[in-house]
Amino acid sequence: MLAYATIIGTSALGYFGAPWWLLLLGAGALVCLAQRELRALGPRFSAVGASYMFEAAAHARIGHSLLAAIAAYGWGALVRVVVAG
């Protein structure tokens, strides 16, 4: 639920014309949430000798968080352009 709120907030930043680098703040928040979710899986992957899978999942989550923040910010900016005419 908190991730959805972060994405909506990042979209609002785009809509209100905030500087582009603030989308990195949204991406950072999404990364923190994703790492918190993955933390519980770390010992399980280590127990079966697949710690590389945990690392790969963490890197994938970082990429997905960045893409989600870029898309949300871009969507907000696009809506602002369309509404403003």
Query: 21-72: per-residue pLDDT in tens?
Result: 999 999 999 999 999 988 888 788 788 887 888 888 889 999 999 999 999 9
Q: How many structural domains is the chain composed of?
A: 1
Give residue 32's pLDDT. Answer: 94
Query: In sequence order, which residues have a C-beta less than 8 Å from that of residue 11 and are 6 or more positions away?
Result: 72, 73, 75, 76
Please state, in angstroms and rounded to a whole number, the distance separating the CA atoms of residues 30 and 77.
20
Q: What pTM does this model have?
A: 0.86
**Average pLDDT, stretch 7-27?**
94
Domain range holding 71? 2-84
In this predicted structure, the answer to whether residue 3 has a pLDDT above a threshold of 80 is: yes
